[in-house]
Amino acid sequence: MEEKPKIAVVAMQGDYEKHLSVLRRLGADAYPARLPQEIAGADGIILPGGESTTIGKMLARYGVDDAIKQAAQAGKPVYGTCAGLILLAREIAVGTEERGGQPTLGLLDVAVARNAFGRQVDSFEAALDAPEIGTEPLRAVFIRAPYVVRTGPSVETLAVHDGKTVFVRQGAILGSAFHPELTEDDRVHRYFLSLVWGGQHS
């Protein structure tokens, strides 16, 4: 019997418990991570949503930011949702409601606009065409969501909503503007786990 992949879900803030629930249901050994050594021992890492400025400060305070960078540089899959996408981005577009200059991990060669679809009262669900995930539309929940305004040459767009890029991949790094953990559709988590399995067996 093959060993379950170890997935660290960064538990500084946000819906990390829902990510844990989905991942465990899919057979992963998923656990909340708040320390660098918990990141270092993982086969894959998920950065959940929340408030990106607050999460970013906490990552730096506990040294988790460097641990995530080292894991990514070692080829371990990393997936950021909503605020997690912002933190993975190389650049935050200035003048998109929030101030620029927020430190990020810079692992995804994209620029993102924060709160790009409006405030929380404007949160919404949408059906996305995401062929890489499956033929059926992907149900996506957006909450104070960002979107990608620029992608580098090595970044693949996996889904678009209303002309805006909302799901991207660069090698083993994924980023989505939406919250897949808030729906019953587990295909995004399955896709992430497929990257982890691929890394383990390469």
**Helix, strand or coil, per DSSP, at residue 164:** strand
pLDDT the model gives residue 1: 40
- The model's confidence at residue 202, banded by pLDDT at 50, 70 and 90, is very low
Domain span at 23: 6-200
Greater confidence (24 vs 120) lies with: 24
Assess if residue 112 is contained within a domain.
Answer: yes
Which residue type, as a one-letter code, is found at position 154?
Answer: S
Assess if residue 178 is contained within a domain.
Answer: yes
CATH number, domain of 135, equals: 3.40.50.880
**Helix, strand or coil, per DSSP, at residue 73:** helix
- The model's confidence at residue 135, banded by pLDDT at 50, 70 and 90, is very high
Assess if residue 99 is contained within a domain.
Answer: yes
Catalytic residue numbers, as ranges: 82, 179, 181
Tokens coding 81: 């949702």
Interatomic CA distance for residues 29 and 43, integer angstroms: 10
Assess if residue 1 is contained within a domain.
Answer: no
pLDDT the model gives residue 99: 47
The number of distinct structural domains making up the chain is 1
Assess if residue 140 is contained within a domain.
Answer: yes
Assess if residue 93 is contained within a domain.
Answer: yes
Enter the DSSP assignment of 193: H
- The model's confidence at residue 199, banded by pLDDT at 50, 70 and 90, is low
* Residue recorded with tokens 């641990």: 67
- Could you tell me where the beta strands, DSSP code E, fall in 23-146? 29-33, 44-47, 78-81, 89-92, 108-113, 124-128, 138-142
Residues paired with 59 in a beta bridge: none
Interatomic CA distance for residues 187 and 164, integer angstroms: 21
Assess if residue 29 is contained within a domain.
Answer: yes
